């Protein structure tokens, strides 16, 4: 070893030991140089103990739908949490599927970010269910029972008429056409989940279903992204609805809008829903088994009036209106289109469809387990091309 190198090593060694001694002996020195102290300066966040900080000043607009991984450093932080929760609606019989979904999202995202969980059911979860899922997360987890009137078919629904419709749909082989519980679920997800007591303290939710898959590492915080960009609705998969389940839904939408034109947002996403300027619905909707969205939008005046109007028509029971078209139509019409967001980075599967991130880089960085060639995005049944058409226009 020659002399200069030996000298450098000596000096380095001295600096390192001095740092260690200071770190051990001086709390103040520690505080000033600690990693979190240095990094927090970059983000302009003063108080690391606050789990719901105000979002820092907005960054250059990443709002375009095709934007890839959010570039903003803040979104990669693991200390600051948005006002948000992970949410699962499940039956006790969904236990194994619920465990699989929670395992994947914990492994790929939440063990790093520690968002709380809320699980809902119209009957109490069994102690076995609670024990088996609670063990999966280090985060706060709560179990709620859905109030009777948020779930079951209301007494004012004409059961004879509803029954006839179920019979007809069964005869026509409409999926879940004969099921009342499926209709309860769709109505609940359309207009009630965000009224649940356990959810009042949260603004954003990430809807998770039993037996879904998260194929990629999620190394940014989608909730902070929503909060910071003031997004209303985030999705990964979009497709066509079965027309037989929503025969009169679009007419209801048009009637509602004629009555309440003030709720329609300027710069809305109507172009995603129609090929003829709004006369008819093209059946495109966001697949709501994955949603990252703002409950305050559902709680707001426009959506409240919209849901109450749809509910009053009884279409959740006389037809089989799904929460996916109901949410999608509302988000597309009552929010500006740049408040809707396609989460390309989130590899997601709900059988039979998978969204696998586009872009070699995003896929590699995400260490994705899905095959991009199998991605549903440009399948003939996907509505992504309608989304792209809309996205190009802003
Ligand atoms: N508590 C409760 N949850 C339900 C009920 N029916 C459905 N769910 C939940 O509601 C969500 C949607 O139901 P799914 O059966 O997955 O409906 P889907 O996604 O349209 O159809 P598939 O997944 O293809 O069967 C899931 O989280 C289910 O666990 C029910 O009767 N009670
Ligand atoms: C960060 O360093 C400053 C001094 O630059 C100090 O006043 C402050 O208390 C430190 N904050 C934390 C969170 O340690
Ligand atoms: C979170 O959001 C809910 C709904 O908007 C709100 O009531 C609550 O006060 C918020 N909590 C915090 C800590 O900001
Ligand atoms: Mg499902």
Mean model confidence pLDDT for the chain: 88
Q: What is the pLDDT of residue 45?
A: 32
State the pTM of this model: 0.82
What average pLDDT does the segment 346-362 reach?
Answer: 97
Distance from residue 78's CA to the centre of ligand 2 (Å)? 19
* Cα 120 to Cα 199, 296, 323, 327, distances in angstroms: 10, 19, 16, 19
192: tokens are 């009630």
Cα separation of 354 and 128, whole Å? 31
Q: How would CATH label the architecture of 75-392?
A: Alpha-Beta Complex (3.90)
Distance from residue 32's CA to the centre of ligand 2 (Å)? 5
Q: Which ligand is nearest to the CA of 207?
A: 1
Instruction: Considering only residues 391 and 270, tell me which one the structure prediction assigns the higher pLDDT.
Output: 270
Where in the chain are the domains?
A: 75-392
Q: What is the pLDDT of residue 1?
A: 58
DSSP, residue by residue, 175-213 = TTTT-HHHHHHHHHHHHTGGGSGGGTT-SEEEEE-TT-E
Q: What is the pLDDT of residue 37?
A: 37
Residue 216, preceding bond cis, omega within 30 degrees?
Answer: no
Q: What is the pLDDT of residue 19?
A: 65
Residue-wise pLDDT for 10-57, tens only, equals 777 777 666 666 555 555 544 444 444 343 333 333 333 334 444 443
Q: What is the pLDDT of residue 63?
A: 39
Residue-wise pLDDT for 251-282, tens only, equals 999 999 999 999 999 999 999 999 999 999 99
Contact by Cβ (8 Å): 56, 44: yes
Instruction: Considering only residues 70 and 235, tell me which one the structure prediction assigns the higher pLDDT.
Output: 235
Cα separation of 284 and 382, whole Å? 8
Identify residues whose C-beta is under 5 A from ligand 4, the ion.
209, 289
Distance from residue 228's CA to the centre of ligand 3 (Å)? 15
Active site residues: 291
């Amino acid at each position: 070893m020659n002399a200069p190198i030996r000298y450098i090593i000596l000096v380095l060694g001295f600096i390192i030991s001095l740092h260690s001694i200071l770190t051990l002996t001086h709390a103040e020195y520690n505080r000033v140089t600690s990693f979190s102290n240095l990094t927090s300066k970059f983000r302009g966040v003063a108080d690391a103990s606050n789990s719901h900080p105000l979002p820092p000043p907005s960054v250059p607009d990443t709002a375009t739908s095709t934007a890839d991984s959010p570039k903003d450093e803040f979104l990669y932080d693991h200390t600051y949490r948005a006002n948000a929760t992970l949410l699962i609606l499940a039956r006790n019989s969904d236990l194994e599927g619920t465990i699989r979904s929670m395992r994947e999202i914990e492994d790929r995202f939440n063990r790093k970010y520690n968002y709380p969980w809320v699980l809902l059911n119209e009957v109490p979860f069994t102690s076995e269910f609670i024990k088996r899922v609670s063990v999966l997360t280090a985060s706060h987890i709560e179990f709620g029972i859905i109030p009777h009137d948020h779930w079951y078919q209301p007494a004012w629904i004409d059961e004879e008429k509803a029954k006839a419709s179920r019979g007809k749909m069964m005869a026509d082989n409409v999926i879940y056409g004969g099921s009342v519980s499926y209709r309860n679920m769709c109505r609940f997800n359309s207009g009630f989940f965000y009224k649940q007591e356990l959810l009042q303290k949260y603004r954003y939710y990430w809807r998770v279903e039993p037996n879904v898959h998260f194929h990629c590492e999620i190394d940014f915080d989608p909730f902070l992204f929503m909060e910071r960009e003031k997004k209303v609705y985030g999705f990964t998969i979009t497709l066509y609805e079965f027309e037989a389940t929503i025969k009169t839904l679009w007419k209801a939408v048009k009637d509602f809008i004629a009555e309440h034109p003030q709720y329609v947002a300027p710069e809305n996403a109507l172009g995603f829903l129609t090929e003829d300027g709004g006369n008819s619905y093209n059946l495109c909707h966001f697949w709501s088994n994955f949603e990252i969205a703002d409950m305050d939008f559902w709680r707001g005046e426009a959506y409240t009036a919209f849901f109450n109007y749809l509910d009053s028509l009884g279409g959740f029971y006389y037809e089989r209106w799904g929460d996916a078209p109901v949410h999608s139509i509302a988000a597309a019409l009552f929010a500006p289109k740049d408040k809707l967001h396609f989460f390309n980075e989130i590899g997601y599967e709900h059988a039979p469809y998978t969204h696998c991130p586009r872009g070699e880089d995003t896929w590699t960085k995400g260490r994705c387990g899905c095959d991009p060639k199998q991605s549903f995005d440009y399948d003939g049944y996907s509505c992504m091309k309608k989304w792209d058409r809309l996205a190009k226009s802003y």
